[in-house]
Structure formats: structure tokens, C-alpha cells
Amino acid sequence: MSRLKKFAVTVGAVVFWLVVWEIIALKIDSDIILVTPIEAARRLAELLTVGEFWGSVLFSSVRVLSGFALGLAVGTALALVCYKVKFVKMLFAPLISAMKSIPVASFTILALIWIGSKNLSVLVSFLICVPIVCANMTEGMEQLDPKLSEMAKIFRIPPLRRFVGVYLSQLLPYFRAASRLAIGLCWKSGVAAEVIGIPNGSVGEKLYQSKVYLETADLFAWTAAVIILSFLCEKLFMLLIDLLYKRVEQL
Amino acid sequence: MLKAVNISKKFGGNIVLENFSRDFPDGKTAVILGRSGCGKTTLLNILMGLLPPDGGEVLRDGQISAVFQENRLCENLSAGANIRLVTGGAIADEQIARELSAVGLSDCMKKPVRELSGGMKRRVALLRALLSKYDILFADEPFKGLDLDTKQSVLQYFREKTLGKTVVLVTHDSAECELLADEVIRL
């Protein structure tokens, strides 16, 4: 399928579901239960002109992305240790499994007790990101081709060039897949944590207020904002990784 | 200098090499000829230092280069980058592109290796070995997987590039042996 055709199909699918949403909302005919997509878009457009909206977006973005970045660094470092020392891998295996399956709500309540609500989304995003990155990167390291290491030894390739050309080129696809999965989950869980912890000035607080005041249009507008933010962050980060990939590919 | 002294190797109960000794003359091409499974690759890997012998020793001096039995290319790197990986800044990109053209890979400089065919990958692996700085070149069936026409031109290219160099080449093809060998070792 050509890129244009693929794009057209995607847009068509989105339009189809918006129409379904519009029809259902019109049938229900209650702004509290379900607003129309047009109403949600109108509310989002209104919010975009308010300074407070951007303040909340900045508040949550900084925290979610900080947790994500920290998670990437710690997850990768932990993967390296797990790969090098099998005992550490065995030691961390149950912890990583537990981190993968513990509900976000449990993390959040615990984090609230430990650090309060202001930086809650940093910790929750971090805790969501670490096991994903660690598991993927450990697998990537275990898949490193030992015959390429032998090749590098035979040709006496210097350490930095060896790291980039032989190892990084093999690990980047794993890093890309891990970060793509993690960034979306960080947004999802980070905002969910804010809804529970209600830190002042966060996107989660706004979502919570829309629930309290039964402002369904606000709820949809803020949800759309989170989806857009998550989508943009993912695209931007993937673009950065692809640029790095291209650099490595041409060495 | 390359010298094998009483090399022995067995896998399980199967003796592959027994007291193999040889002086490989400098600047000459020695071709190890033999049927499949007779221990040619094992001998080459021992000479390269990739496999320890059970007995005997290898005396070797200088930088080595290799065309391995498998290509051992970095699949996510371009053909040019795979060569640059071993040559560093010693050879300019323009020259690498010219050498790629000489073996029929004119458009492959920036193409990731994963997108190349088996025969194309083999030529990149061969070129990588030939363009790296070396005193001794080890080549394990370097023309494997090439069609007849390509093989003829690549054989010629290989001969020109290795003239006066110390080469140990493994093959089971007597035509390759006839064209390239200064010395034949039958296993």
C-alpha cells in the first residue's frame, strides 16, 4: 500500500469513528453523559487560548518526560548490568515482573506516601518505563551476534567505532521499540497518577475537576490534549531515534 | 610470517587435524583444497586465532584480515559503512565507492546491507577484507554464492588486489585454485 493510500485509509477510519461518536451523542442528547466531537473540539479550541491550559500542559509534560528520560537511562543501565552479570539478572527478574504487573493505582498511592503529589508523575512514569526498557534492552544485548565481535577483534576496530558500528547498530532497533512503547504508557500512567494525586496545576487535576463538576466537554477536551501530546512526543522521539539510526547506518 | 606447527584438532571423537605443519610463504597465495567437512575451515580458524588447537601452535606475525565463512557484516549498516568500520579514515569515501563499483555494486554505498542479496553481501564482505590494512589475508570460500559472470570478474579483481600479498584461501573449487594458487595444500 502506498504512503498516500495508507494515510487516506487512516484519516477515513478516524472520520468514520468521529461520525459514529457524533451520531451516538446526538441520540443520547445529554451533555453530561456524552458530548459531540464538535463540542469537545470547540472546548479544546477555547482551552488553547487560556494561559492556564498551557501551564498545565507544561507542568505535566516536564514531569512525564523527565520520568521517561530517567527510565530510559536507568532501564538501559540495568539491562547492561543484567546482561553482564547473570546473578543480577536473576535477582532483578521478580522485581521487573512485579513492576510490570503492579497496577498504576498501587504505584501511585505508594508514591503519594513517599514523595507527595507534586512530582508524582515523574516517579510513576519512571516506574512504568524502567521494566519495559530493561526487558527489551536485555533481550537486545542477548541477541548481539558474537561472530561480529570476533570480526571486530580480527580487524582491530578501535573501541568507539566498534561500540557504534557493531553494538549500537544492533541495539538501536530494540531501544526504538522499547521507547515507543514506554512513551505512550508514561503519558497514560503519569496522567492517571495525577488524577489520583491531584497535584496543583497538572493536567490530571483538570481531568479530576471535570469529573467533579460534571464538565464532560472539558473531560473530552483534556483527554484529546493528552492524546495529542502523547502522539507528538512519540513522533518527535522516534524522529530523533531515526536520525541517530541514519547517522549510525552511514557511520 | 605464518607458520603452523604440529596442529591437532578433534571434535568429540572425530579427529579433524592431526600434526599439521606448514610454512606459509610471504607474498604468496596458499590455497587449502578439499572436500566439504575435511577440516578446511577449522584449519583456517585455528590459523586466524579464532579456534584454539588441541595440540601444536601457530606462529603468526602482523595484522590479519579475513573473509569469513559467513559474511559477518553489520546488517543495519550501509555497505560503505561496513567497509569504513574497518578502514576508518584511511580510505576516502570516493575510493570506497569506486571499489564497490569495480565489483558490480555501484549503487550500494549508502544502502543498508540487510537490503542486499546474498551475492552482493558476499562481495561487500570480500571488499571489506581487501580494503583493510593487512599483512595476511584469510579467505574462506570468498566467491561462494556468486553467479558465474560475477565470479569471473571478482576473481580477477581479487587476483589483482592480492598480488604480492600473503593469502591463505580455502575452497573446494579446483578452477579457483588453478587461477589463484601459488601453492596448494590438499586436506
Taking residues B146-166, what's their average pLDDT?
92
Closest residue in chain A to residue B65, using alpha carbons only: A155
Grid coordinates representing A4 are: 498516500
- Count how many pairs of residues, chain A against chain B, have C-beta atoms within 8 Å: 60
Q: List, for residues B2-26, the tens digit of each pLDDT value.
A: 999 999 999 988 888 999 999 999 9
Asked if B68 lies within 8 A of A169 by C-beta distance, the reply is no
In angstroms, the CA A203 to CA A59 distance is 8
How many other CB atoms are found less than 10 A from the CB of residue A145? 15
* Per-residue confidence band for A111, with pLDDT thresholds at 50, 70 and 90: confident
pLDDT tens column, A150-206: 999 999 999 999 999 999 999 999 999 999 999 999 999 999 999 999 999 999 999
What is the pLDDT confidence band of residue A31, given thresholds at 50, 70 and 90?
confident
- Beta carbons within 10 angstroms of residue A15's beta carbon: 10
In the predicted structure, residue B181 carries a pLDDT above the cut 80: yes
Residue of A nearest to B48 (CA): A154
User: Does residue A250 carry a pLDDT above 80?
Assistant: no
Residue numbers in B near A163 (CB within 8 A) = none
Residues of B whose CB is below 8 A from A173? 76
Q: Which residues contact A90 (CB under 8 A, 6 or more apart)?
A: none
A37 contacts chain B (CB < 8 A): no
Task: Give pLDDT, residue A1.
Answer: 73
On chain A, the residues whose CB falls within 8 A of the CB of B76 are: 169-170, 172-173, 245, 248-249
| Nearest 10 degrees: Cα torsion B146, B150, B153, B155 | 10
Helix (H) or strand (E) holding A190: helix A169-197
Q: Give B25's DSSP letter.
A: P
3-class secondary structure per residue, A113-150:
HHHCCCCHHHHHHHHHHHHHHHHHHHHHHHCCCHHHHH
| Model pLDDT, residue A248 | 85
pLDDT digits (tens, 9 = 90+) for B107-142: 999 999 999 999 999 999 999 999 999 999 999 999
Mean pLDDT of chain A: 93
Best CA proximity match to B53, nearest among B12, B7, B104: B7
Whether the pLDDT of residue A61 is over 80: the answer is yes
B85–A165: do the CB atoms touch at under 8 Å?
Answer: yes
For A156, name the nearest residue in chain B, comparing CA atoms only: B86
Q: What is the pLDDT of residue B101?
A: 95
The span from the CA of A159 to the CA of A239, in Å, is 27
A152 closest CA partner among B91, B45, B86, B68: B86
ipTM rounded to 2 decimals: 0.92
Chosen CATH of A51-250 out of 3.90.640.10, 1.10.3720.10, 1.10.4160.10, 3.40.50.970:
1.10.3720.10
Phi, psi of B56 (to 5 degrees): 85, -175
Per the document, the length of chain A is 251
CB contact under 8 A, B81 and A249: yes
pLDDT on residue A107:
83
User: Given CB atoms, is B76 within the 8 Å cutoff of chain A?
Assistant: yes
Does the pLDDT value for residue B152 go beyond 80?
yes
Please state at what angle helix A169-197 crosses helix A104-115, rounded to 10 degrees. 70
A161 contacts in B (CB within 8 Å)?
85, 88
Given an 8 Å threshold on Cβ–Cβ distance, is B86 in contact with A147?
no
Average pLDDT over residues A128-155: 95
∠ CA A179-A181-A185, rounded to 5°: 110
- In chain A, residues with a C-beta closer than 8 Å to the C-beta of B48 are 154
The pLDDT > 70 percentage for chain A reads 100
- pLDDT tens sequence across A92-109: 999 988 888 888 888 889
Determine the distance from the C-alpha atom of residue B70 to the mean position of all C-alpha atoms in its chain, rounded to a whole number. Answer: 10
Span between the terminal Cα atoms of chain A, in Å: 31
- Could you say which residues from 82 to 101 on chain B have a Cβ atom under 8 Å away from some Cβ of chain A? 84-86, 88
pLDDT band for position A2 (cuts 50, 70, 90): confident
**Cα B129 to Cα B108: distance, rounded to the nearest angstrom:** 17
Q: Is the pLDDT of residue B175 over 90?
A: no
Contacts of A251 in chain B (CB under 8 A): 77-78, 80-81, 84-85
